[in-house]
Amino acid sequence: MLRIYVISKVSNAGMWRELRGKGWPIISTWLNDGDEASIDFSEAWPRYLQEAASATHVMVYAQEGDRLKGGLAELGAAVSAGAKALVVDYMPPEFRTIQKHPNVHLVGDIGEALNVINRDARLVGRSGERDPDNHVPRLSLSALTSFSNG
């Protein structure tokens, strides 16, 4: 089954929740955790890493100057478990060496990342077998381009 984990600044949580509301299977519970001051990180970090490791795809979204404090740990958990990672447009400096991992790919914008995920989900499931249970919403290209960086 298709499972997408997202890595970005908390300030982008609304964008990810909007995509989840449109039917994309985004599993990142940090989107609903609130601000850092209210989070019990001794409970949250094991959950975040387990979610990332269970994902079929990870989307990393950052803009120049952003520091994704836990993003490298989440990305490492995901790619070590076999997820495809899609880094959207900007590669944060702390991610520069992991971009050499064969499962890490740079894409132009969020719409392109969603198209890659859509294509992958329609071809094969995570196990390498056809997976009829993959849930990929049917979005028009205009819906996808509303999430581009441009």
Domain positions in the chain are: 4-145
Q: Mention every residue, 6+ apart, whose C-beta is less than 8 A from residue 95.
A: 60, 68, 71, 72, 75, 87
Strands (E) across 52-134 are located at 57-61, 84-88, 104-107
Q: Which fold has domain 4-145?
A: Rossmann fold (3.40.50)
The per-residue pLDDT for 74 is: 96
pTM over 0.85: no
Q: How many Cα atoms within 13 Å fall on the side-chain side of residue 146?
A: 9
- pLDDT confidence of 20, banded at 50, 70, 90? very high
The per-residue pLDDT for 38 is: 85
1 or 18: whose pLDDT is higher? 18
